[in-house]
Amino acid sequence: MPLKIKFFGSEGFKEINEFIEKHEKSIRASLKSLGDKTAEEMKNIIANSKVRPQAGEPTDLEDNINVEHFPDKGWGVGDINQLNEKAKYWRAVNFGSKHLVGTETHGHFEPGDPQPNPEEFRKGRLKKGFYKIRIQNEIPAMNYIQKTVNFLRRQLLNLKFGERQ
């Protein structure tokens, strides 16, 4: 993602260079901390978008979204290889998918009524069990990646340095 710096005033190149040199440390620190904030934001978006009871449930997707800092190059959030290995469903959750619709499995719901029951929609989570269950609804698109990129862009626009903050 490109970083554009806007200067307000009548500075020439010499003054702009001096400004960047003077503020380099704080600019780098702000951008670095933005990496951590972005990873946190992505985790929050995922956690807040979940619609079924989560108490005591594993959080593999959030747990495997980390920020990686590269000296002098910047940072990245979410290692695709790691996600492919430990939270394989990350793409389906982000983009939404119909791939499970129509498939049958054996399970039960908890908490609440263990049998599939439309009146208890989203009140329980599917666990391995003995009821034959046919999946009818698609995975809704969470778009946590697009929402996080949007968050990051707004944060970058709001970064200000120097006297005219």
Partner 1 sequence: MSVYRISRNIESSIIEFIQSELSSAGWTNITVEKTFSRIYGIPVETFQKQAAICVRLEDTQHQQAEIGETSTNRFPLVLIDIFATSDGQRLDLKDFLVQIFKKGLPYFEYQTSGNTITSRVQNGRIRVTKMDDVPVSFGVDKSSLEVHDRYRHLLTLETSLGRVEG
Number of amino acids touching partner 1 (CB under 8 A): 22
What's the min distance (Å) between Cβ of 12 and partner 1? 29
Span near partner 1 by CB under 8 A; candidates 10-18, 23-31, 121-129, 132-140: 132-140
**Cα 156 from chain centre:** 17
89 vs 110 by CB, closer to partner 1: 89
Q: Which of residues 79-98 bind partner 1 (CB under 8 A)?
A: 84, 91-92, 95-98
50 vs 91 by CB, closer to partner 1: 91
Query: Would you count residue 44 as binding partner 1 (CB under 8 A)?
Result: no
Query: Would you count residue 50 as binding partner 1 (CB under 8 A)?
Result: no
Query: Would you count residue 18 as binding partner 1 (CB under 8 A)?
Result: no
Q: Which residues have CB under 8 Å from 18's CB, separation 6+? A: none
Q: How far apart are CA 30 and CA 164, in angstroms?
A: 17
Going from the C-alpha of 157 to that of each of 2, 31, 107, 127, the distances in angstroms are 11, 12, 48, 44
Q: Which residues have CB under 8 Å from 75's CB, separation 6+? A: 31, 32, 35, 67, 68, 69
Going from the C-alpha of 77 to that of each of 9, 72, 92, the distances in angstroms are 35, 16, 18
Residues within the interface to partner 1 (CB under 8 A): 84, 91-92, 95-99, 101, 137-138, 140-141, 143, 146-147, 149-151, 153-154, 158
